[in-house]
Chain A
């Protein structure tokens, strides 16, 4: 028996109290392998111990939800016997350490989560947040992360159709790489992870297991020697070609009825996957580690159980179906091994070389998984910023040019052109719009997909920020004409052991809950990434939301591009809210005030009205208004269509610059041809709407005087990112 010292316990991230629980459950001292298993099962990543209490409060139900949080990914009904399966997950820390491989394996992991459930992935998106552009590492990180995402997704042949990319110094030491995958399956071919069937074979498929990403740190123990660090690469390397084959082989096997349960091996590999399958199905598992395909013959039980090697899956098959399954995996030249079977002992028993090398009770371990009610303090309410405190620009159009050329608002073509966004032949709405529109193959319907979050709002007022992130996703989906159905979330926060940070998490979740309920937009999957801190400096609260909606007739979806001779209508109320706006930050150089409040009732009313107009084919182009405000929205639509516009601002309140750049929520900009009728309908629906201009020419003109050419706007908008990335 290896002596488990307090030092070893600590290195496994377990507190003395948690270790006492381990001793109680085991009834003896665990060996190192068993300790390692407890450590990963009770890690924040696997157990959600800090966030579970609050995650439970999120709305997760709706008539169209087939499977909410708890499985590999969420499942919603999209009609005609089809389901959409999706999830978003973080790969923040690995991407900071090794941007190419970190981002690539992040994409690989989320793809597996989705196809494990029986779906063919049809779209990827990525919400990226980097540090200050002037920070020494930023360019290297952007370049590596983007290449890694492309390298993996392009090879898999899954289009990467959207996402976001922002910069802020708070991410200097902790970038965020949140990857989302959306897939489509038949509702009668959805696969879950609960193991069932006494004696059924447990099968390992995919790549071999190597010493990748084992977090146990250097152990002062017999199992580890001096050069063990060298043996254990902490960076996992992605192999998209293998994953492509795993995908095709799994889908081929799923077309038969041989699979009882299936689970991908993500973080903590074999440990998490076998535990989850057994625990969900109330079964025991006997696992013979000698049979696990290995990259190195001398791997220990500890290493085999904790390895995070990529592109691996575990499944439980119906008895007698092994050969059929083996033939499929061999056709795709992949590992296939029966490594164990299900038992009724309620225990996970590991054998190696004919000896038992680990024996743990499954339910007690899962049930005793820590859940903390961490102390938290509410974020003090921000002081509202008066419009009078924000100076007007000398030249609003020059301010516009600076805004659309700023890192957060500039065109991200340099990024998405490195992603194959058209493969699979169904990308109707390409990157750069409000939501990506991906046709469901062989049908008339399409999915609208987006990712959204405004961390500056979340920092100032986490609850409003949480609401806003959900509302903006809902709005972006609405803006292309789709009905928003459900979300996945990726909650990126700092150290939850700090009451202030915990307070941000709690309030963001409360805000999200309110918005999800009010908008019928439940959470069906997600992931939490805590401890995003370096030397005590935490990131801003960043609850990234991935939203999915459905449009029944894809020919009705609309984009951003303006055409000539159209009238511009703004839907929603414009009060000129400048607190926490990009105008305030980029032009006035200040980050203050309260974020714009989200009125969920009007959000819904306005959105439903706009969606109705799009469905009735009365809208030529539509854009949601968010960061940068109204004038930025007009400029983006003008650049997309190559057609200018003449804007007439109302006299009086709010002052011109607040009207142009305020970030009031719940607003849309429409380009239409029957403006009068639409205004009348809006009045009937109690939806604020006003004409703000006409389209035409090749410039933006303000109040009949001052103007800026589209060419000048485009060069500012398109210039920043390529220039930044090509600097030596």
Chain B
């Protein structure tokens, strides 16, 4: 699997995701600077977490208009898998690769903690190694993770099974108490219509090493390798 991580000047989870991908592929994962205008042939493009351009206007707003994102859009349109995590998810919504928007957390504070997620869609290259309804534990670390979209968009996402992950309690119940940031329908991650673009606020790459407290994130990367290895 040929994978690459897009690096904005304020990206800060670029190395973390690189480590997680390389752990699963056993091959080097390329790092691509935001000023590049073209991409090599790739199987997976990752837009990582961080603060892309400082995020002073709106999270991800400026990154969405960077030269590299035009190239990412073109690749996504061709069906290349694109994964946006945390700030990467924010960038993908601002770039209109995914619908909706990530607003300030309900409690107006940054939150860094492990959360339980229910896997809702498994027919994707990202989630094929998980069981539908499986509860997995990933950390979140964000200020703006409160997913919002108009009712029509939400209905479309739900009807088309494009909600990939939902915040839930340890037993898989989707409750208000288990919703850390106020996201509509407890949405933690969504897919595009073609299901080759996934945006999610939680960080699978942060729990892919037993020493750090868990490996629920690993199946995502192992699954990607399985699905995308040439």
Asked whether any CB of A lies within 8 Å of a CB of B in the complex, the reply is yes
B148 at the binding interface (Cβ < 8 Å):
no
- The closest CB in chain A to the CB of B112 belongs to A420
Chain A 144-164 interface residues, beta-carbon cutoff 8 Å to B: 147, 150-151, 154-157
A155 touches B13 (CB 8 A): no
B110 touches A420 (CB 8 A): yes
A332-B9, A419-B112 known; A425 vs B19 contact (CB < 8 Å): yes
- Alpha-carbon gap, A242 to B53, bound state (A): 9
Task: List the A side residues contacting B112 at CB < 8 Å.
Answer: 154, 416-422
Please give the distance in Å from B69's CB to the nearest CB on chain A. Answer: 17
Chain B 192-210 interface residues, beta-carbon cutoff 8 Å to A: 203, 205-206, 209
Q: CB < 8 Å: which of B15, B111, B211 contacts A555?
A: B211
- Alpha-carbon gap, A601 to B212, bound state (A): 35
A428 touches B212 (CB 8 A): yes
B16 touches A155 (CB 8 A): no
Q: Which of B54, B55, B203 has the most CB atoms of chain A within a 10 A radius of its CB?
A: B54
- Alpha-carbon gap, A430 to B112, bound state (A): 11
A422 touches B139 (CB 8 A): yes
Please give the distance in Å from A161's CB to the nearest CB on chain B. Answer: 11
Please give the distance in Å from B206's CB to the nearest CB on chain A. Answer: 5
Task: List the B side residues contacting A248 at CB < 8 Å.
Answer: 9
Q: Mark A416-444, 1 if CB is under 8 A from B, else 0.
A: 11111111111110100000000100000
B111 touches A241 (CB 8 A): no
A524 at the binding interface (Cβ < 8 Å):
no
A554 at the binding interface (Cβ < 8 Å):
yes
B41 at the binding interface (Cβ < 8 Å):
no
Chain A 121-152 interface residues, beta-carbon cutoff 8 Å to B: 147, 150-151
Q: Which of B19, B51, B112, B139 has the most CB atoms of chain A within a 10 A radius of its CB?
A: B112
B182 at the binding interface (Cβ < 8 Å):
no
B12 at the binding interface (Cβ < 8 Å):
yes
A418 touches B15 (CB 8 A): no
Q: CB < 8 Å: which of B16, B51, B56, B211 contacts A424?
A: B16
- Alpha-carbon gap, A428 to B56, bound state (A): 31
B96 at the binding interface (Cβ < 8 Å):
no
B12 touches A157 (CB 8 A): yes
A155 touches B206 (CB 8 A): no
B212 touches A244 (CB 8 A): no
**Count of A-B contacts judged by CB separation below 8 Å:** 86
Task: List the B side residues contacting A402 at CB < 8 Å.
Answer: none
Chain B 20-63 interface residues, beta-carbon cutoff 8 Å to A: 20, 49-51, 53-56
A280 at the binding interface (Cβ < 8 Å):
no
A49 at the binding interface (Cβ < 8 Å):
no
- Alpha-carbon gap, A333 to B212, bound state (A): 35
Please give the distance in Å from B152's CB to the nearest CB on chain A. Answer: 34
A157-B50, A417-B112, A418-B109 known; A554 vs B10 contact (CB < 8 Å): no
Please give the distance in Å from A141's CB to the nearest CB on chain B. Answer: 16
Please give the distance in Å from A250's CB to the nearest CB on chain B. Answer: 14
A244 touches B110 (CB 8 A): no
Task: List the A side residues contacting B154 at CB < 8 Å.
Answer: none
B9 touches A423 (CB 8 A): no
- Alpha-carbon gap, A332 to B10, bound state (A): 10
A154 touches B53 (CB 8 A): no
A245 at the binding interface (Cβ < 8 Å):
yes
A241 touches B56 (CB 8 A): yes
A417 touches B9 (CB 8 A): no
Task: List the A side residues contacting B11 at CB < 8 Å.
Answer: 157
Please give the distance in Å from A424's CB to the nearest CB on chain B. Answer: 7
- Alpha-carbon gap, A439 to B206, bound state (A): 14
B110 touches A418 (CB 8 A): yes
Task: List the A side residues contacting B109 at CB < 8 Å.
Answer: 147, 417-418
Task: List the B side residues contacting A417 at CB < 8 Å.
Answer: 109-113
Please give the distance in Å from B167's CB to the nearest CB on chain A. Answer: 15
B211 touches A554 (CB 8 A): yes
- Alpha-carbon gap, A242 to B56, bound state (A): 12
- Alpha-carbon gap, A428 to B213, bound state (A): 8
B206 touches A422 (CB 8 A): yes
A150-B110, A418-B109 known; A244 vs B19 contact (CB < 8 Å): no
- The closest CB in chain B to the CB of A444 belongs to B211
A157 touches B13 (CB 8 A): yes
A425 touches B110 (CB 8 A): no
Q: CB < 8 Å: which of A244, A332, A333, A426 contacts B12?
A: A244
A425 touches B15 (CB 8 A): yes
Task: List the A side residues contacting B111 at CB < 8 Å.
Answer: 417-418
Please give the distance in Å from B169's CB to the nearest CB on chain A. Answer: 16
Task: List the B side residues contacting A420 at CB < 8 Å.
Answer: 110, 112, 141
Task: List the A side residues contacting B10 at CB < 8 Å.
Answer: 155, 241, 244-245
B212 touches A425 (CB 8 A): yes
A419-B112, A425-B206 known; A241 vs B54 contact (CB < 8 Å): yes
Please give the distance in Å from A437's CB to the nearest CB on chain B. Answer: 10
Task: List the A side residues contacting B206 at CB < 8 Å.
Answer: 422, 425
- Alpha-carbon gap, A523 to B213, bound state (A): 33
- Alpha-carbon gap, A422 to B12, bound state (A): 11
- Alpha-carbon gap, A422 to B207, bound state (A): 10
B209 touches A425 (CB 8 A): yes
Task: List the B side residues contacting A239 at CB < 8 Å.
Answer: 54
Q: CB < 8 Å: which of A155, A332, A430 contacts B51?
A: A155
- Alpha-carbon gap, A426 to B206, bound state (A): 9
- Alpha-carbon gap, A388 to B143, bound state (A): 52
- Alpha-carbon gap, A207 to B212, bound state (A): 36
Task: List the B side residues contacting A244 at CB < 8 Å.
Answer: 9-10, 12, 51
- Alpha-carbon gap, A422 to B202, bound state (A): 12
Task: List the A side residues contacting B211 at CB < 8 Å.
Answer: 428, 439, 554-555
Please give the distance in Å from B10's CB to the nearest CB on chain A. Answer: 5
Please give the distance in Å from A414's CB to the nearest CB on chain B. Answer: 9
Please give the distance in Å from B3's CB to the nearest CB on chain A. Answer: 17
- The closest CB in chain B to the CB of A160 belongs to B112
- Alpha-carbon gap, A426 to B16, bound state (A): 9
Please give the distance in Å from A143's CB to the nearest CB on chain B. Answer: 9
Q: Which of B50, B209, B211, B213 has the most CB atoms of chain A within a 10 A radius of its CB?
A: B211
Please give the distance in Å from A239's CB to the nearest CB on chain B. Answer: 8
Task: List the B side residues contacting A419 at CB < 8 Å.
Answer: 110, 112
B12 touches A423 (CB 8 A): yes
- Alpha-carbon gap, A240 to B51, bound state (A): 10
- Alpha-carbon gap, A245 to B51, bound state (A): 11
- Alpha-carbon gap, A333 to B53, bound state (A): 11
A241 touches B110 (CB 8 A): no
- Alpha-carbon gap, A425 to B111, bound state (A): 17
- Alpha-carbon gap, A422 to B109, bound state (A): 17
Q: Which of B50, B110, B206 has the most CB atoms of chain A within a 10 A radius of its CB?
A: B110
Q: 18 other contacts beyond A241-B54, A423-B49, A425-B16, with CB at 8 A cut-off?
A: A154-B141, A155-B51, A157-B50, A240-B54, A241-B10, A245-B9, A416-B112, A417-B113, A419-B110, A421-B112, A422-B203, A423-B141, A425-B19, A425-B20, A425-B205, A427-B212, A428-B211, A428-B212
Q: List 27 A-B contacts (CB under 8 A).
A: A147-B109, A154-B110, A155-B51, A155-B54, A157-B12, A157-B13, A157-B50, A241-B9, A241-B53, A241-B56, A242-B54, A244-B10, A245-B10, A248-B9, A417-B112, A417-B113, A418-B109, A418-B112, A420-B141, A422-B206, A423-B13, A424-B12, A424-B16, A425-B15, A425-B205, A425-B212, A555-B211
**9 closest Cβ pairs, A-B complex:** A157-B12, A241-B54, A425-B16, A420-B141, A155-B51, A418-B110, A420-B112, A150-B110, A422-B206
- Residues of A near any B CB (own CB < 8 A): 147, 150-151, 154-157, 239-242, 244-245, 248, 332-333, 416-428, 430, 439, 554-555
- Residues of B near any A CB (own CB < 8 A): 9-13, 15-16, 19-20, 49-51, 53-56, 109-113, 139, 141, 143, 203, 205-206, 209, 211-213
